[in-house]
Chain A
Amino acid sequence: MKTRYLLTLLAIFLLTSDLHAQDELEDDASPLSISGSIDAYFRYNLNAKNSGTYYETPGTSFGNLPGFSLGMLNLVTSYEGKKVGFVADLVFGPRGEEAVFASPYYSSSRGSSQMINQLYTYWNVNDILTLTMGNFNTFLGYEVISPVANFNYSTSYMFSYGPFSHTGIKADLILADNVTLMAAVMNPTDLTEFNPFGTYTTGIQIGFFGSTYINLLYGDQDGKLDNDMELSPGDISDGATFQIDITTGFDVSEIIYVGFNTTYNSTSSGELYFENNIKESQGDGAGFFGAAAYLQMAASDAFEIGTRLEYFQIYNYGIDPGIVLDDNGDGNIMHMTLTGRASIANLVIIPELRIDATFEDNYFNSNLKQRKNLSSFILAAVYSF
């Protein structure tokens, strides 16, 4: 009874005390904050099957399930003190699972790591330097995991095949009024719980005017072959991955915004276990590159419309985006997305038309005939709080 009484008192205190009652007047540091979003959508192929083995999707992340489908619940808790703080960003649902696809490394039964999108703490050393340690979303690319921060609901190829998250330590430095620098040492990309390979990746970001960023990533993503391992002939390990990425965006007028992203990713040939020896493997690097333009217009306070146009190329079997590659392992995709965003208070309704086109026959239409393009429609609802 006593415990219940104390708990009731605590609950009453939390519910009735003023948010800033304990803050100093001049202290604008936030208390513990909770925010997030939920999203759900309906997806329909306009020129392909919508169920079964031949159900077609673009080779990009998120928003690919047929019919009425769930996105995710995103729950972000943070404490932003003047000196120190933390962010715990949890995700639940299909979009979240896809976002942290490499996290359940520690537990084969897909334990609680599956719900951690970001988990880090930081120290504002002074006005110009912040140190961060833990798991944070990537600094590369234009698009992000949260559907709230993206204009389009579906995602680009460059986003989908670039890194999603990193775990490591980074230093953010303000060099001048409009110039920032970020330097990081991290685990291999997307291995967020711990480092199983023993190799590390370096990240650099140079920012200009708060809207233009040059991002660099370099490091071995799958470790080195080691004679202490149980190796079999033909075992290989990739070499180091290098990625350079540029993002920018600016307001052309009060209602028109233009964004741009380009990226180049290359992984060198690494090592090969052959004739009981680990040898350097020969060959060219493999990877992808692309560019995307984003044009957005605010038709009114409550309605925006925008388009995304992307060109994406794979070379030397760099990745497998689910399209036919030629004999050299090369392939390319163009896609265009037309998106509307209607805001009703905290809810955003997003109708989206998307066309993905390749130079080879890649998609099966409703009659199971192969064709070069896939047209699809999404109606998403995103509520943020």
Chain B
Amino acid sequence: MLIFLKLTLILFFVSFITLRAQGPEIINDHALTYQKIMFCEGKSREVLLQHIKAAIYNIYDSTYIELDENQKIIINSGFRIYNILIGKIGNPAGKLIFRLTIEVKNNKYRYCADKFYFTPLERNRYGRFNQINRQPVLVSNENYSGNKPLLNKIKKQSRSYLEKLEKALQDYIALSQNKKAEW
């Protein structure tokens, strides 16, 4: 039985490390900005754009999405940053909003996430988390020099968010391809 326990432990730690080994590259660490080029061989710009648009509309509320004249996809969205006490247990530290831009070419697309703004959340008198009356602050090394732990939390969790987005996009593109290939 002890061997099962050991194996389970090893399995979990290996998967834990593997999952965190990937991620979008940070192109500007001063003001938090991520950028990554994703390759999709054999896809024309039109097809890829169509698939990505479909995926994005599936993931995000359409009110957050806009398309500029160059067919650049721009998404203004946000998510919560959590203080993690242990495992799954934690509490929300604040709300992070950001801009995500996706540009598509033949066989590849590039996404860029920037303009990250953070607003802290605090429990109100009823114990529920509310945004406090403060202006959102641009996430940059300078603005968070006095709160490095929070900055690191924002970086780690925004990276994780983008990894999930990246995977969702890739899965959707692959799924669209498979559907087309079906007889």
Contacts and interface: CB of A to CB of B under 8 A. Distances in A.
Interface stretch (B25-33, B40-48, B81-89, B108-116): B81-89
A87 B1 CA distance: 40
A30 B89 contact: no
A16 B146 contact: no
A263 to B, nearest CB: 16
A19 B82 contact: yes
B91 A34 contact: yes
Contact of B125 (A5, A32, A132, A137): A137
A35 B91 contact: yes
Contact of B1 (A1, A28, A31, A137): A1
Nearest to B4: A5
Given A20-B160, A35-B123, A137-B126, A26 B60 contact: yes
B82 A25 contact: no
A15 B126 contact: no
A280 interface: no
B12 interface: yes
Contact of A118 (B95, B126, B161): B126
Given A5-B5, A15-B87, A19-B88, A80 B129 contact: yes
A149 interface: yes
A12 interface: yes
Interface in A45-90: 76, 78, 80, 85, 87, 89
Given A28-B79, A34-B85, A80-B129, A5 B123 contact: no
A9 B12 CA distance: 10
B165 A25 contact: yes
Nearest to B77: A26
Interface string A1-45: 100010011001111111110000110101111110000000000
A30 B127 contact: no
A222 B4 CA distance: 63
A273 interface: no
A151 interface: no
Contacts of A260: none
A115 to B, nearest CB: 14
A10 B137 CA distance: 39
Contact of B86 (A15, A146, A302): A15
Interface string B1-18: 100110011001100100
Interface string A205-236: 00000110000000000000000000000000
Contacts of B60: 26
A78 B128 contact: yes
A136 interface: yes
A301 B59 CA distance: 38
**Interface bracket on A:** 35 or more
Nearest to A89: B127
A48 B23 CA distance: 64
B123 A76 contact: yes
Q: Taking each of A31, A137, A138, A149, which has the highest tally of chain B beta carbons within 10 Å of its own beta carbon?
A: A31
Interface string B162-181: 00110010000000000000
Contacts of B146: 301-302
A334 interface: no
Interface in B81-137: 82-92, 95, 122-129, 133
B80 interface: yes
A18 B84 CA distance: 10
A261 to B, nearest CB: 13
B61 interface: yes
Interface string B50-81: 00000000011100000000000000011110
A87 B127 contact: yes
Contacts of B165: 25
Most buried by A among B1, B59, B61, B127: B127
A171 interface: no
9 contacts: A14-B87, A14-B89, A16-B12, A18-B19, A25-B59, A30-B129, A148-B123, A211-B133, A345-B149
Interface of B: 1, 4-5, 8-9, 12-13, 16, 19, 59-61, 77-80, 82-92, 95, 122-129, 133, 146, 149, 160-161, 164-165, 168
Interface of A: 1, 5, 8-9, 12-20, 25-26, 28, 30-35, 76, 78, 80, 85, 87, 89, 118, 120, 132, 136-139, 144, 146, 148-149, 210-211, 251, 301-302, 345, 385
